[in-house]
Chains A and B, each alone.
Chain A
């Protein structure tokens, strides 16, 4: 964590010194800490820092570094990942540049690296935004790809790869003086080793009082699509609302529905407050079963007890507050605080049917 902050500070200073002559509004730094805690003894502390600064006319450099420090002894961890409580860290960094090509088009390139003791992800993003019709319409296209290397501390020598590809298109339209509408579509493709090497599946032999545990096995490819529609509207002077609906479907027969509603208000010149609600419902993968058994002495070809591939529901209610620390500077430093209460439910999971969690984020966004 100290390394994360140190590297980010160094990069931030480098960006600052390289951009003295540029627009102050574009030189910004952020730092935040998010704490996740649930009633299953799991705690994740996630410090994150980032900076952006112009490096030449119409060129903007962005860098970020973050970590997830995980500790706990949940049902998942104790039964599937390791024989006892865990304490591990994931570090993620990104470096990107965006450029304004013309008055109405920008492009961006970004590299993303994520590392933990048994997992390495190397990825990149390529994107472009085009503004049309006097900036009443904008179209954003993004392509994100990564190659992940999967290992396991309990399986020496395991080194499998999985490839991920995400293609997203987002259309934003100004409807009138107080309303935006966004339509987004995404196509996703995962291929390679998609199992979790720590996860095993209990198999019942119907001819004998015997339960054996075998490794999880899922198809080697997953293709998915998602679409989202969202509206953003000023509903009264100083009051704003947004609502969205997202539908997801993949070739493992998992589909999901997500609805979100938020209301925000600039209650005072320096203070903005928002409340939001999110509801999520997901169906099970076609090969997910409450229990598996041998068929004519053979194991099922595809098997998993991954609760994320079973039926699930979740709900979140949250409050966010955003305070300007310097009232005279519109683009000045802002302190953001958010708290969210979560409920996850897995109706088919006998080991744990539900979990409650709280997520707290405190962050600072400031020019430098």
Chain B
């Protein structure tokens, strides 16, 4: 797993510059529906359900605390 993390870091520098979309070409990319989390209120709540009900988590971009065992 450490190798994967390191590979991502190396990959990010490797691919940087391969694609050059100019700022004035980003109207579509800037649309709220293209955001990382278009509805963070909803996604955070659902993520909590996943974590409580399922046995695996991670690589989902959220963090929380407590067990919520029941």
Contacts and interface: CB of A to CB of B under 8 A. Distances in A.
Nearest to A170: B61
Interface in B1-52: 1-2, 4-5, 8-9, 11-13, 15-23, 25-26, 28-29, 31-34, 36, 38-39, 41-42, 44-46, 48-50
A139 interface: yes
A346 to B, nearest CB: 10
A352 to B, nearest CB: 13
- Please classify how large the interface on chain A is, using the bins under 10, 10 to 19, 20 to 34, 35 or more: 35 or more
Q: Secondary structure at chain A's binding surface: helix, strand, loop or mixed? A: strand
Given A46-B48, A123-B65, A227 B60 contact: no
A256 B29 contact: no
Contact of A114 (B29, B53, B56, B66): B66
Contacts of B50: 280
B21 A86 contact: no
Given A132-B12, A274-B33, A256 B54 contact: yes
Contacts of A112: 63-65
Nearest to A223: B1
Given A240-B34, A282-B55, A336-B41, A132 B64 contact: no
A290 B6 CA distance: 39
Interface of A: 30, 32, 34, 36, 42, 46, 48, 68, 70, 72, 74, 76-77, 81, 86, 88, 90, 92, 112-116, 119, 121-123, 125, 130, 132-139, 141-142, 144, 146, 148, 150, 166-178, 180, 182-188, 196, 198, 224-228, 232, 234, 240, 246, 248, 250, 254-256, 264-266, 272, 274, 280, 282, 285, 306, 308-310, 312, 314, 316, 318, 320, 322, 336, 338, 340, 342, 344, 357, 359, 361, 363, 365
18 contacts: A36-B49, A72-B70, A119-B69, A132-B12, A137-B16, A138-B12, A150-B67, A169-B9, A177-B26, A224-B56, A224-B58, A228-B59, A246-B60, A272-B38, A336-B39, A338-B42, A361-B42, A365-B41
